[in-house]
Amino acid sequence: MVMAQHTTTPVNVGVVLYDFENWVGKMWLSCINISLSDFYATHAHYKTRMLLNTRNSMADVFGAAAAGLDLIKNAEVQAILGPVTSMQANFVVELGQKAQVPIISFSASSPFLTSIKSPYFFQATQNDKSQVKAICAIIQAFGWREAVPIYVDNLYGVGFIPYLMEALQAVDTLVPYQSAISPSANDDQIVRELYKLMTMQTRVFIVHIFPSLGARLFIKAKEIGMMSEGYVWIMTDGMTNLLSSLDPSAIDSMQGHWAYNLTLREQKSLKSFEFDGKRNSINIIQIWLMQS
């Protein structure tokens, strides 16, 4: 009597992150592997097994596009998880559309991406515009009459501003100035912009930028006295979701100011999460990634 062998069919899936060597990149990849392990532990009867094909975008739009193209043409993946930023996702989605390969982004949150009418793009994260009402509710509750947005001058930042402006207008908050900071701004350029803000009467700032750029912004703001009493800084979750990855000096410079973030209900499966032998706090991006 011949016994049927238990065989599985491999399914190639691409993963585009921006750095597998730093803490964040390793954590995200670990989340994916944990999610796969948990899934197949409870679905052992499935005949397919996902095989991860990882690529490094090098934190660059063209690097992400090259990684996506390589995964589609050479690895022949059936889906791509990532890339990380909205700018990168905008490029990779076009490749997925042409090749009919689904692109699932767990962190690209620009409202602009919702305008992409592609059946092959899935934005498995909270849209940035969902934050504006909560932010404006804080401003209204404290009776602040003016606020200045500080945002990164790219798709991620520019796509958020129209929704913020509309929400601020709804609570009768004036916006005398909008501060756009280049993604490649050096420290001198950041300080120059901060001094410009110091000359204005407005002392309430809404910050919507990447963590790496935001860390330098807050350190410089503290150095020139803009984190003292009388100033109000409100951060969107673009910063707060990855606070644990920032330098301690950057986190220290933000103490005492408002931050928008989602609250995670503690679950048994999260309590035991470990990485490199140490317990680490789980942020919302990691949850979205594991659920993607």
Domains of the chain plus CATH, in order, are: 9-126+265-291 (3.40.50.2300), 129-259 (3.40.50.2300)
Q: Which residues contact 231 (CB under 8 A, 6 or more apart)?
A: 203, 205
pLDDT in tens, 72-116: 999 999 999 989 888 899 999 999 999 999 999 888 888 888 778
3-state DSSP assignment of residue 22: coil
Over 70: is that where the pLDDT of 41 sits? yes
Cβ atoms < 10 Å from Cβ of 288: 20
Over 60: is that where the pLDDT of 63 sits? yes
Full-model pTM:
0.76
What pLDDT is stored for residue 164 in this prediction? 96
pLDDT in tens, 178-233: 999 999 999 999 999 999 999 999 999 999 998 889 989 999 999 999 998 899 99
* Tokens 């606070």 -> residue: 243
- Which helix (H) or strand (E) is 79 found in, with range? strand 79-81
What is the bridge-based pairing of β-strands 204-208 and 148-152?
parallel
Our separate counts of H helices and E strands in the chain read 12, 12
Tell me the one-letter amino acid at 44: A
